[in-house]
Amino acid sequence: MRNISGLFLLFAWALVPAFGADAPGADIKTLDTPRAFPEIATPAQWLERSRAIREQILVSSGLWPMLEKTALRPVIFGKIERDGYSVEKVYFQSFPGFYVAGNLYRPLGRGAGPFPAILNPHGHWEHGRLEDTTNCSVPGRCINFARQGMIAFAYDMVGYNDTHFPESPLTPDFGGNHHSFPSNSPAAQLWSVTLMGLQAWDSVRALDFLASLPEVDPHRLACTGASGGATQTMILGAIDDRLAAQAPVVMVSHTMQGGCLCENMPGLRVEYSNMEIAAAAAPRPQILVADTGDWTKTTLTVEGPAIEHIYQLLQAPEKLRYVSFDFGHNYNQTSRQAVYQWFDRWLLSEPDQPVPEVAFQKEPDPDLAVFPDGKPPGDAVSQTELIKYLIKLHRDQLQNISPTNGPSLANYKRVIETARIRTLQLTWPAESVRASGKGLVRKAGYASEECAMVRSGENETIQLVHFAPLRSYRERNPTVIVLAHPNGQTPFVDNAGEPAGLARQFLARGFDVAIAANTGGAANSNQTSVLFTAYNRTRLQERVRDLVSICQGIRILNSFRCRVVLCGSGRAGLWSLLAAPSADAVIADCGQLDVSDDQTLLDPDLFCPGIRNIDTFAGAAILAAPHPLVLYNVAASFPLASLRSSYRALLADKKLRVESRLLNDSEIAGSLPDMGAPKSN
């Protein structure tokens, strides 16, 4: 007989803790939590991670799949000519009826081009793109770029200067307008509608605008900004390969990631920091400009060398430069001159030598204002209208890829699987786990063992109990039932530690049973805040992650010669449904949930930013098709059409069972259909 204790210890080694960011006493990451750059040994390893970073940004931004690019309808007017450059007013529609405004600076006296072109997001300066102080002059750098032979476009962040909603009049305090978009609205987060997502889209469309100009060389596009403008620079560089160079200034830090809602969106930095986001642009030319007076003070010793390692792996060390100056938070003349030298080298093919700034005179604000009366065009949409439009875009995207046959199902899976991994924050790469067992206990008809497991790099543990029928293990291919419940093992194990209820029912039918002893406590009270979800997993994300890892661990134990069934009760039924692609079958309590109502998904056990964009709970089940799937306690409003059509397309109708009523333990244990042969490695 195979040794049961040894078998289970191997099983336990592969598992991960069910404690996460929502557990009492667990560490909660914030924007100020110091972050370490991961150990990357090979170019292939980095390319895989940079792909994941790009996907995470796109999913978090609500840009996966990429939204349709509607007509920009740009308007350029009010040209002013000065010595060596001109400046004009610009507005375009990043979405129909949402106007982005800015100023376009072009070289004069240098022929018809084509010229390099540089985006200039301004950051959190009091006057936005019109800031002209010793610490930062957006017009000053744009004028100098133009005089050097490059086109420069300075555009507004949402809520600054001319880019705002018609119901949000301009105020001296930009913050009222800048934060007006519902970045922290939990209901909007369900659809990945956030201020940072809108900012990212505006940057993509601003690059589209620049590239559309006939005198612009589309192969020599760049971006630079400071503070929040540097955040936009990094984000754009990570998701848009059209940038030929970039210069994020005073923002790439391992100790502070950005304090504004426009710099944070759900899921963005759970696994990644600004250092990695900046490195995602490698091997394209990049300069990091830091100062000794803010959170970038360690750039020369920490952030710069970490990113430099990636450029070295990609055999492009000459394409990264990092410098630091003895100032406070700034984009001053010294910092600008460092960027001029870098961009002149890579965009104009000039010698790598200092480029002094030429004296400039900013135009008066009224001459640069795009909408002098403070009002956008009459067809400008309100904030509420834009949110409704964005949600409809996401609904339409899901409808357009809804699976009806084999080819459409394959396309659906391609889109949704990536979105699911990034939305649910499933870990990259797989984490190692340490585990120990307390010793095998044999009882009448079964054996049991308790184990404690700790994820590498974490302190919290998961307590797990495994029950196995007493029978020969020789050449067995077990079916392991993973029982999940929001209250942990309480419904499945009695006070004496004996299997009870559903666990007893499955054991009586000859199945192995695995039960997590704890599910991490109550959800964190701040889990609907963007400043929480940008850095931490919600309760639902933690629980789904654990179930996925448990399934993987069971397969490692049995060398892929077993079947794994997730069986979730209460809210854990829906967690199991989201983890369905990792199991061979799922039995899920759907809790009579009305998923048509966004408010339902704000339940602390169900909240997950972006969940609507992965087809809520149906999407993961479709990804798992044609694995056997039993849904019970299903509300009449539960979306089943796409799920049924997917199983039909795979000729697997009989593997899908839907019951509107609540099944009892005996019915649940007897509901599992024939699953065929187990998977092989």
User: Amino acid identity of 657?
Assistant: R
pLDDT greater than 90 at residue 19: no
Mean pLDDT over the full length of the chain: 89
Q: What is the mean pLDDT of residues 477-502?
A: 90
Which helix (H) or strand (E) segment holds residue 79: the answer is strand 75-82
pLDDT greater than 70 at residue 409: yes
Q: Are 581 and 571 in contact (CB under 8 A)?
A: no
pLDDT tens per residue, range 578-592: 999 999 999 999 999
d(CA 96, CA 76): 18
pLDDT greater than 70 at residue 311: yes
pLDDT tens per residue, range 360-408: 999 999 999 999 888 999 999 999 999 999 999 999 999 999 999 999 9
d(CA 473, CA 192): 48
- Reported confidence tier of residue 26, pLDDT bands at 50, 70, 90: low
β-bridge pairing 656-658 and 629-632: parallel
HEC string for 547-591:
HHHHHHHHHHHCCCCCEEEEEECCHHHHHHHHCHHHCCEEEEECC
Non-local CB neighbours of 301 within 8 Å, separated by 6+ positions = none
Residue range(s) in the chain whose domain bears CATH number 3.40.50.1820: 4-16+414-669, 45-381
Q: What is the mean pLDDT of residues 69-79?
A: 98
Q: What is the mean pLDDT of residues 629-643?
A: 95
Residue 681 has what pLDDT? 35
Residue 517 has what pLDDT? 74
Sheet with 98-107, side-by-side order of all strands = 75-82, 85-95, 98-107, 151-155, 115-121, 216-226, 243-249, 286-291, 320-325
pLDDT tens per residue, range 141-180: 999 999 999 999 999 999 999 999 998 766 544 445 666 6
- Name the token pair of 659: 């019951």
pLDDT greater than 70 at residue 300: yes
Cβ neighbourhood burial of 109 (10 Å; 0-12, 13-18, 19+): exposed
Residue 233 has what pLDDT? 98
**Residue range 45-381 in CATH 3.40.50.1820:** yes
Q: What is the mean pLDDT of residues 264-284?
A: 97
Q: What is the mean pLDDT of residues 300-316?
A: 98
Report DSSP state, residue 672.
P
- Reported confidence tier of residue 443, pLDDT bands at 50, 70, 90: confident
The dihedrals phi and psi of 225, each to the nearest 5 degrees, come to -165, 165
- Name the token pair of 519: 């599910």
Q: Are 256 and 295 in contact (CB under 8 A)?
A: yes
pLDDT greater than 90 at residue 205: yes
Q: What is the mean pLDDT of residues 125-129?
A: 94
Residue 315: how many other CB atoms lie within 10 Å:
10
Q: In 3D, which of 197, 193, 171 has the Cα closest to residue 182?
A: 193
β-bridge pairing 243-249 and 286-291: parallel
Predicted TM-score (pTM) of this structure: 0.93
- Reported confidence tier of residue 11, pLDDT bands at 50, 70, 90: very low
- The highest-level CATH class for domain 4-16+414-669 is alpha beta
Listed in order, strand segments (DSSP E) in 431-547 are 433-437, 441-443, 446-455, 461-469, 479-484, 512-516
pLDDT greater than 90 at residue 332: yes
Non-local CB neighbours of 474 within 8 Å, separated by 6+ positions = 1, 2
Non-local CB neighbours of 478 within 8 Å, separated by 6+ positions = 468, 511, 512, 558, 562, 563
pLDDT greater than 70 at residue 676: no
Least confident of 49-63, 441-455, 535-549, 595-609: 441-455
* % of the chain residues with pLDDT over 70: 88
